[in-house]
Amino acid sequence: MSATPRHQRPTNLKKFLFGCPYYPEHWTAADRELDPQRMVAAGVNVVRMGEFAWDYMEPTPGKFRYDLFDETIERLGKVGIDTIFCTPTAAPPRWMTAGHPEYLRFDEQGRQMQHGSRQHCCTTNDAFRAESRRITAELARHFSGNTHVVGWQTDNEFHCHFSVCYCPECVKGFQDYCRKKYGTIDALNAAWGTAFWALTYNDFDQIQLPYPSGRPCFPCPSQELDHYRFISEGVCEFQRQQVAELRKVRGDWFVMHNGMMAHIDYWKFTEDLDFLGFDIYPGFVFRVPADAADISSGLDRARSVSGGFIIPEQQSGPGGQRPYTLPMPQPGQIRLWAYQSIANGADGVLHFRWRSCRFGAETYWEGVLDHDNIPRRRYEEFSREGDELKKIGGRILHSVKEVQIGILRESDNDEAHSTLPLGLPAPHDVARWAWRTLWGQHMPVGIVDANDEFTGLKMLIVPSMPLMDQVLADKLRRFVEEGGVLLVTARTAVRDRNNHAFSVTPPGLLTDLLGSRVEELGKADPDTLKIDLSSRGSAPNGACYEVLSLHGAQALGRWDVPQSAGPHAAAHQVAISANRVGSGLAIYVGTCLTENNARVLVDLALKEAKVHALGQGPDAVEMTRRIKGNQKLLFVLNHYAQPQTVHVPPGIDLITGQVCQGTLDVEPYGVAVIEEHEV
């Protein structure tokens, strides 16, 4: 029996969290006076604070003050509001950077970052790591007996603005990483393929970073992939050291981080945490109702590496920095977006921020309250949400999102693609179109990390992932043998973990499973060719075509080339194959998924998997189900500005208490949480 997949792991929280980030250092006592009672009235039970206040807590080296935070935590605690405290390492104080400019990051042109923003110190620098351990240990000691501090956030949004540092410490760190990984320089040369372009190294100290520019041509893709791995491992270690200091002091604190950014393998990163936090601002992407699919896929990616998670920052206002302003959430959308986070697995939502700040780079990143501190419609909507979650949060807590269809993702594969993109879509681009078509059909779909177990899945999509190893190949084969339906798209399993092309015909390690081989690959403008699916219709090509030969599989589709194209290698050749293995089926599609072909191509596998929709309704009325034991909670989220009617299983709407007989009318930007009843 396989272990429970991580993506199905519940949080260890003791209550459903509802609240906001709170910054007492930004406000006078008069500004803060009414905050506790207003928060309680809105249903707040937790706040997050401290992530940008190192300068207040340690105004000069070794001299600490906590008066403001102690007083604030106590005032809130007296009315039942807990605190998540943060390690303040994303914004080291000026006295530190003035005294230790070597802590500052470098860009690829060798220019040193300057104080005056955030994330300006290098997390690879050993001396800065020691400072970070020191402040973390000091904070943990100070709050060790404070019962109102229930958990911690490490740093803040690692790699949000700056993910690749080129300082001398990073050069040395990368050399040490390579030395530890390969042992000998000959092993490194073989792994990187340095025989190409005379790149051979004689010693690890000769290695430089793979600068993306400043060279006549492109860097070594294998070196570049290892560099991304080094960056990820470095930030994991930086965090791991902080987590160790916190766990030394109190074992009952939960520890999490907020955000999912570039060049971090969150599967490894989350191993040191109780769960992940994901900061979500739908205004970045939401323009039309169907865009809600991309918001949900981001949330689900957090769930895929963490299981249950929380939202440390949920959009509550227009939001904006120097070059942009996000759209103002319309009436109902603040609440809708919060429930969207919950529907996709969140066990807590903190709306950013309690009150809009009157100064700084985020002056117009607006919160629940405006600059004038007067509650208006955003506060009323926030309060409605808080009141509802007081009633139903306990029913939701520790339930997990039901996933029967998995879309595979892996950090290593996305990074590998970026080293050799070739004008083709990345795995996450292909996954996006698979997600959108299944989301729009209201299927129980979820992102699954390639390192996770596939237990409980009926269908799995591998979205053009170039890297493959025997471990993953064996997992995929077992999945199919045991009855799963596998859909694999073009350019999968073409390279090994060193980023080298395999010496055997693609799909290499998956050839026996898929029962076909790729005899030819070509670029093609999307929608210029068609795949003839016989009675199933046809589908246009994506950014490439592959010509398949059959080795045990059956042909599901062949290339249909227009006469105007002239002689073409793909004409009448196999484009899609299907291979029975054990109790399951493996389908190989010789092109990439796009907006125009995803529905038809994904349906080939969907019909075989016999997965049923959660309900029926318009595409952008989102439906997900969370389960806990025998309890089934169906979330229905209307992303349209007009009312919609949907058909769902019978049950009771936990929000309104009304019985649902199977037909449900949902108001514009409305929400329902149906506790399903067996018929």
- Residues 326 and 337: their CA atoms lie apart, in Å, by 15
Q: What is the pLDDT of residue 207?
A: 98
The values of phi and psi at residue 222, to 5°, are: -70, -40
CATH architecture for segment(s) 17-167+232-395:
Alpha-Beta Barrel (3.20)
- 621: tokens are 């009325």
Evaluated on CA atoms 410, 414, 546, 608, the torsion sign reads positive
In the three-class reduction of DSSP (H, G, I as helix; E, B as strand; rest coil), residue 315 is classed as strand
- Residues 132 and 551: their CA atoms lie apart, in Å, by 57
Among 500, 460, 497, 490, which Cα is nearest to 478's?
460
Q: Which residues of the chain have pLDDT under 50?
A: 1
Q: What is the pLDDT of residue 212?
A: 78
Find the angle CA(308)-CA(468)-CA(439) to the nearest 5 degrees.
Answer: 40
Which of 2.60.40.1250, 1.10.760.10, 2.60.120.260, 2.60.40.1180 would CATH assign to domain 621-676? 2.60.40.1180
Among 251, 255, 58, 62, which Cα is nearest to 155's?
255
- 434: tokens are 């698979």
**Through-space distance between the first and last CA atoms of the chain, rounded to whole angstroms:** 31
Evaluated on CA atoms 88, 90, 95, 97, the torsion sign reads positive
Among 179, 174, 176, 184, which Cα is nearest to 211's?
174
- The answer for residues whose C-beta is within 8 angstroms of residue 499's C-beta and 6 or more apart is 221, 222, 225, 416, 419, 420, 467
pLDDT in tens, 235-284: 999 999 999 999 999 999 999 999 999 999 999 999 999 999 999 999 99
| Residue pair 428/41 in contact by the 8 Å Cβ criterion | no
The percent helix, strand, coil of the chain (3-state, each to 5) is 35, 25, 40
| Residue pair 487/464 in contact by the 8 Å Cβ criterion | no
Q: What is the pLDDT of residue 481?
A: 98
Task: Tell me, yes or no, if the two domains 17-167+232-395 and 621-676 fold the same way.
Answer: no
- 201: tokens are 């190294």
What are the Cα distances from residue 7, in Å, to 128, 408, 647?
A: 34, 12, 28
Q: What DSSP string runs through 390-453?
A: HHHHHHHTT-EE--SEEEEE-HHHHHHHHHS-TTS--HHHHHHHHHHHHHHTT--EEEEETTS-
DSSP code at position 583: T
Work out the number of other CB atoms within 10 angstroms of the CB of residue 290. Answer: 16
Q: What is the pLDDT of residue 679?
A: 62
Please classify residue 330 by burial: count the beta carbons closer than 10 Å to its beta carbon, then call 0-12 exposed, 13-18 middle and 19+ buried: exposed
Alpha-carbon radius of gyration of the chain: 26
Among 528, 594, 600, which Cα is nearest to 565's?
528
Q: What is the pLDDT of residue 1?
A: 37
Work out the number of other CB atoms within 10 angstroms of the CB of residue 647. Answer: 11
Question: Which residue ranges make up each domain of the chain?
Answer: 17-167+232-395, 405-609, 621-676
Which of 3.40.50.880, 3.40.50.2300, 3.40.190.10, 3.65.10.10 would CATH assign to domain 405-609? 3.40.50.880
